[in-house]
Amino acid sequence: MKAMGPIPAGFAAGADGALTLGGFGTEELIGSHGAPLFAYDRAIVARQVEAFRSAFPGIGLHFAVKANPHAPLLQHMAGLVDGFDLASAGELARVEAAGLLQPGLPLSFAGPGKSNHDLSEALAAGVCVHVESEHELERLLQVADIMSQRPAIGVRVNPPFGLKGSGMKMGGLASQFGVDHDRVPALVRRIVEVGAKWRGLHVYAGSQSLSAEAVIEMQRATVALAAEIATEVGLTPPEVNLGGGFGIPYFSGDKPLDIEAVGAALRDTLAARPAVLQDTKFVIELGRWLVGECGVYLTRVVDRKVSRGKTFLVVDGGLHHMLAASGNFGQLLRRNYPVAVANRFGHEPEEEVTIVGCLCTPLDLLADEVMLPRAEIGDVIAIFCAGAYALTASPQTFLSQGVAREVLV
Amino acid sequence: MKAMGPIPAGFAAGADGALTLGGFGTEELIGSHGAPLFAYDRAIVARQVEAFRSAFPGIGLHFAVKANPHAPLLQHMAGLVDGFDLASAGELARVEAAGLLQPGLPLSFAGPGKSNHDLSEALAAGVCVHVESEHELERLLQVADIMSQRPAIGVRVNPPFGLKGSGMKMGGLASQFGVDHDRVPALVRRIVEVGAKWRGLHVYAGSQSLSAEAVIEMQRATVALAAEIATEVGLTPPEVNLGGGFGIPYFSGDKPLDIEAVGAALRDTLAARPAVLQDTKFVIELGRWLVGECGVYLTRVVDRKVSRGKTFLVVDGGLHHMLAASGNFGQLLRRNYPVAVANRFGHEPEEEVTIVGCLCTPLDLLADEVMLPRAEIGDVIAIFCAGAYALTASPQTFLSQGVAREVLV
């Protein structure tokens, strides 16, 4: 038997013993939308935003669209957060297609490989561009000149520190992200000198941390770095994006990040900030933490077979929809996501099973030797933590298998 | 500096010093088709098939469509091989869309999660179904009964051995693939008793091996296992699919598989086979080995930046097209694929660079600290070994970045 991660809070069974989302049973959802299905629970998203607001009063909250660009989810999110952070012109197009390109929803665009086309799309839509290199700034100024625009520009900083113990460290190293911190003041001066709108600084030092201490330390260091840069250029940054880094529990032993502690420490840090940052607006950019727990991937058992004494459930989904659960996306060691038999939710575990997808590859392993209530052919398996970096981060055309549906409930 | 894999044989520079494929320069190809671009060289595919024919006279050659289902490539392949192996009803649809659903091109369908819909699609198209469990056989018989068809059925065997040192071991273990070998005779008897067409056995013990010794041993064991099963049921299998397992060099130090040695040993093995297999047709099923080396992923440099002394080339492609080169698909340790500056092909290396994609994630690393001729913004990077498990095995919608084009030249 191998352990699996904890099922996120907020899920319960209906009267028939089956998992419900947004008041709908899983069979009801699959009946309406098809399987395999990603179902996203809007109440869980709202709960996360409320928890953030309570822990971080006065701090802006941006949604990182890359975590999940499903249109109804973006629309739901638009009513809850203060802005969207984009990582491509394609994400801008998705925001526009969702009817959200309107004044009042600030948009910013970061990413290391912006083409001139990406930059002109961003400028045309009034998006603040976070430049990632000196060369990108010059291209942006050229494009803006051609478009007779006065661009809004932030500078993405490659900080001299990283987020300790983070799933993905994005600072403290040589990196393709942002401009090394010691070259940032010159870049800011150039932005101001050419008459562009300098919007501030963006520092993203890592992601998926469950350690309040590490996030607190990163935020302290970020505020100090912003103060240092602001002092050197002699200007107050209108905005400092503190990045994200808030993790969610995926695996056995993972404990939720203590955001109350992070919020209290950030209040202390900001209370003690130097005068040069007094009028700065601080923003935190979250993707996974806001939506990761709201999503469940539902996939039906098509075969139940025994091989050399081991029981396999073969499902109609697989890594082509949910690569991360197979352990093949940025994980060094494969561990089990939280899974359940949706139509026997909360029942006592009865047997050890290995859940595999329908792809003809041994990589397609969704849950390895987990204890579950007995599942038969036709039953539905729920894989949790499927709200962020799930469907879009999977090789959907692999082996030309079927598509997955998505629904926000 | 870190090593990279060997550039496959068959690539050369044109008069202008730029890499050519099928007689076209890379700029010419990108000019016509756009970038990023997967270009597949049909001459390299033909070369591989010829090498196979020379080493394995009398052995059938099937193409595993999952390696690369690009329609023009399937059409090219149809003229070269003896059949196609499918892993989904979607692959059958791709074969049909390519105009290849016609008598004379045998099709077989293996995969652990076949739905009733998959089975009926296969039967309607006259595809031989390789059943993977007792339950799947019964469902297939039911579906055939409803369709008033006499199905052609092979049995996929889970062998008691694996391919030693293989990239992906698919035998010798409890597995979702096939039926444990000791339960196969009963299944064959059932197929014959109900009056279905028994087509034979399919044994796939692993993939991506560069060891002739290991492949030889696997083929010997497979023939012996087929003889054992055939003797037990007292029937000659019309066909035995020996699987594949032929690897290609991806990384530094990798040497090509010696297929002459494998072919010679297989001739010896088959010369000594028992009478019960005398009239059996033997087939080898290859995907990666046939098409892996024919493909090159071409992506343009959009930024060249230095961070803390390290030079980064940021390209307009990334892991959303070429996940395997980032090390995030079935690899324990990330190593560098062979890469080159396409417009300075064969030039002496001049500097150490790290090539990253345009995605806003540190996972998007395409070549780490490799020595290359100097590349400027606008130059084209070629990533080799991009003909199999490349575009379709990548998360193409991740971060809503641009699509890749494909062309067969």
Please check whether residues A175 and A259 belong to one and the same domain.
yes
B87 min Cα distance to partner chain A (Å): 6
Per-residue pLDDT of chain A (409 residues; tens, 9 = 90+): 999 999 999 999 999 999 999 999 999 999 999 999 999 999 999 999 999 999 999 999 999 999 999 999 999 999 999 999 999 999 999 999 999 998 889 999 999 999 999 999 999 999 999 999 999 999 999 999 999 999 999 999 999 999 987 766 667 789 999 999 999 999 999 999 999 999 999 999 999 999 999 999 999 999 999 999 999 999 999 999 999 999 999 999 999 999 999 999 999 999 999 999 999 999 999 999 999 999 999 999 999 999 999 999 999 999 999 999 999 888 878 999 999 999 999 899 999 999 999 999 999 999 999 999 999 999 999 999 999 999 999 999 999 999 999 999 9
B191 min Cα distance to partner chain A (Å): 19
pLDDT at B103: 81
Indicate the residue of A180, A314, A328 with minimum beta-carbon distance to B113: A314
How many domains does chain A contain in total? 2
**Is A113 in Cβ contact with B357 (below 8 Å)?**
yes
Residue where a domain stops, chosen among B286, B303, B330: B286
Domain of B94, CATH number, reads 3.20.20.10
**Is A399 in Cβ contact with B88 (below 8 Å)?**
yes
Which whole-number Å values give the CA distances from A407 to A7, A322, B228, B292, B397, in the listed order? Answer: 20, 16, 51, 37, 18
Please check whether residues A307 and A278 belong to one and the same domain.
no
Please check whether residues B177 and B272 belong to one and the same domain.
yes
> What is the bridge-based pairing of β-strands B351-356 and B310-315?
parallel
* Residue B169 pLDDT grade (very low, low, confident, very high; cuts 50, 70, 90): low
Residue where a domain stops, chosen among B261, B286, B311: B286
Q: Would you say residue B151 lies in a domain?
A: yes
pTM above 0.95, yes or no: yes
> What is the bridge-based pairing of β-strands A239-241 and A281-286?
parallel
Q: Would you say residue A59 lies in a domain?
A: no
pLDDT at A168: 66
Please check whether residues B282 and B297 belong to one and the same domain.
no
Q: Would you say residue A131 lies in a domain?
A: yes
Rounded Cα distance, B147 and A353, in Å: 34
Q: Would you say residue B64 lies in a domain?
A: no
Please check whether residues B273 and B310 belong to one and the same domain.
no
Give A391's contacts in chain B (Cβ within 8 Å). Answer: 397
pLDDT per residue as tens digits for the range B31-76: 999 999 999 999 999 999 999 999 999 999 999 999 999 999 999 9
Kindly state the percentage of chain B with pLDDT values over 90.
95
**Is B88 in Cβ contact with A401 (below 8 Å)?**
yes
Q: Would you say residue A258 lies in a domain?
A: yes
Q: Where are the alpha helices (DSSP H) in B254-320?
A: 259-271, 288-291
DSSP H or E run through B308: none
Tokens of A283: 């923003």
* Residue B329 pLDDT grade (very low, low, confident, very high; cuts 50, 70, 90): confident
> What is the bridge-based pairing of β-strands B128-131 and A310-315?
unpaired
**Is B393 in Cβ contact with A303 (below 8 Å)?**
no
Burial zone of B371 (CB within 10 Å; 0-12 exposed, 13-18 middle, 19+ buried):
middle
Tokens of A177: 């992200």
Please check whether residues B147 and B182 belong to one and the same domain.
yes
pLDDT per residue as tens digits for the range B335-358: 999 999 999 999 999 999 999 999
Q: Would you say residue B3 lies in a domain?
A: no
Please check whether residues A224 and A354 belong to one and the same domain.
no
**Is B329 in Cβ contact with A401 (below 8 Å)?**
no
B356 interfacial to chain A (CB closer than 8 Å): yes
**Is B399 in Cβ contact with A392 (below 8 Å)?**
yes
pLDDT at A357: 98
pLDDT at A335: 96
Of residues A390, A382, A400, A399, the one with CA closest to residue A5: A382
Residue where a domain stops, chosen among B286, B320, B341: B286
Which whole-number Å values give the CA distances from B197 to A52, B134, B135, B139, B237, in the listed order? Answer: 63, 16, 18, 16, 11
Rounded Cα distance, B142 and B148, in Å: 10
- To test the contact with chain B by mutation, choose from A136, A176, A184, A326 the residue with the greatest count of B C-beta atoms within 10 A, namely A176
Give B168's contacts in chain A (Cβ within 8 Å). Answer: 361-363
pLDDT at A362: 94
What are the b/e assignments for A156-188, b being 16+ CB within 10 Å? bbbbebbbbebbebbbbbbbbbbbbbebbbebb
A275 min Cα distance to partner chain B (Å): 30
Residue of B nearest to A316 (CA): B113
**Is A316 in Cβ contact with B115 (below 8 Å)?**
yes
pLDDT at A167: 65
Domain of A391, CATH number, reads 2.40.37.10
B150 min Cα distance to partner chain A (Å): 23
A251 interfacial to chain B (CB closer than 8 Å): no
Please check whether residues A308 and A280 belong to one and the same domain.
no
A360 interfacial to chain B (CB closer than 8 Å): yes
Residue ranges of B 18-47 with Cβ closer than 8 A to chain A: none
pLDDT at B168: 66
Q: Is the pLDDT of residue B17 over 70?
A: yes
Q: Would you say residue A5 lies in a domain?
A: no
* Residue B281 pLDDT grade (very low, low, confident, very high; cuts 50, 70, 90): very high
Please check whether residues B132 and B259 belong to one and the same domain.
yes
- To test the contact with chain A by mutation, choose from B65, B305, B389 the residue with the greatest count of A C-beta atoms within 10 A, namely B305
Which whole-number Å values give the CA distances from A215 to A53, A128, A242, A277, A377, in the listed order? Answer: 17, 26, 10, 20, 44
Please check whether residues B26 and B106 belong to one and the same domain.
no
Is residue B141 within 8 Å of B151, Cβ to Cβ?
Answer: yes
Kindly state the percentage of chain B with pLDDT values over 70.
99
Per residue, what are the HEC states of A357-399? CCCCCCCCEEEEEEEECCCCCCCEEEECCCCCCCCCCCCCCHH
Residue ranges of B 57-116 with Cβ closer than 8 A to chain A: 65-66, 69, 87-88, 90-91, 93-94, 110-115
Residue of B nearest to A156 (CA): B360
Q: Residue B265 sits in which domain range?
A: 69-286
Angle between helices A134-146 and A116-124 (to 10 degrees): 50
A308 interfacial to chain B (CB closer than 8 Å): yes
Give A401's contacts in chain B (Cβ within 8 Å). Answer: 88, 90
* Residue B236 pLDDT grade (very low, low, confident, very high; cuts 50, 70, 90): very high
Please check whether residues B207 and B317 belong to one and the same domain.
no
Residue ranges of B 115-154 with Cβ closer than 8 A to chain A: 115, 132-136
- Strand residues in B87-127 grouped as ranges (E): 107-109
Is residue A315 within 8 Å of A272, Cβ to Cβ?
Answer: no
pLDDT at A293: 98
Q: Would you say residue B331 lies in a domain?
A: yes
Please check whether residues B73 and B196 belong to one and the same domain.
yes
